[in-house]
Amino acid sequence: MTTFLCYSNRRLLMLVFTLIIASSACFGQIKETEKSETKDQFWQQVRFGGSLGLSFGNGNFTGALAPSAIYDFNNTFSAGIGLSGAYSSQNNFKATSLGGSLIGMMRPIREVQLSAEFEQLNITRRYEFDGANIKDQDWVPALFLGVGYNTGPVITGVRYDVLHDKNKSFYSSPFMPFVSVYF
């Protein structure tokens, strides 16, 4: 009887062990599928795009490039990150700006987009004054609050820098029109 009990316990142990291994393999496949679906769902909610700006005339030139990635939480709220780079030259003055930003958007109705964007810029200015070259470099924050008209992938509007400092900010005015495209 003891021999049968030992043999039976071994069989039972082997059966339990086999079930544990098989179930963990099944759960592992389910978890991998869930991870894959979650990852796919995440990337389906991400839009890429940004803004491009050019301004020139009378010896002045300004160019800006600002790519960004936005995650749509739902049809109303989105958030993301962006990079920005700009160059400006005017007579004896040249400036470059490089930085990053955190972006929040709200669409109370489909056509209207409200936005807030905190941007931190490293600005380098070079002046030529009486034969001397003067270089100034500084980190400058900007907080843009904006409103735009949403026509699908294209948003046009205006934003206002509430932290604008006429002596330090890269842009001469706190008001800035914008056109952004997201896909």
d(CA 178, CA 97): 17
Domain 46-182 classification at class level: mainly beta
* Digit-coded pLDDT (tens) for 150-181: 998 999 999 999 999 998 888 888 998 999 99
How many CA atoms within 13 Å lie on the side-chain side of 179?
A: 4
Q: Where are the alpha helices (DSSP H) in the chain?
A: 2-44
How would you classify residue 145: left for phi > 0, otherwise alpha for psi between -120 and 50, otherwise beta?
Answer: beta
pLDDT at 39 over 80: no
78 or 26: whose pLDDT is higher? 78
Report phi then psi at 57, rounded to 5: 150, 145
d(CA 117, CA 114): 10
Q: Pull the structure tokens for residue 77.
A: 């709220």
* Digit-coded pLDDT (tens) for 54-88: 887 787 898 999 999 999 999 999 999 999 999 99
Report the candidate in 120, 171, 175, 115 with the shortest Cα–Cα distance to residue 142: 120
d(CA 178, CA 142): 15
What percent of the chain shows pLDDT beyond 90? 58
- Averaged confidence pLDDT in the chain: 84
d(CA 118, CA 141): 7
Which amino acid appears at position 51 of this protein?
S
d(CA 162, CA 117): 11
Tell me the β-bridge partners of 142. 119
Domain ranges of the chain: 1-44, 46-182
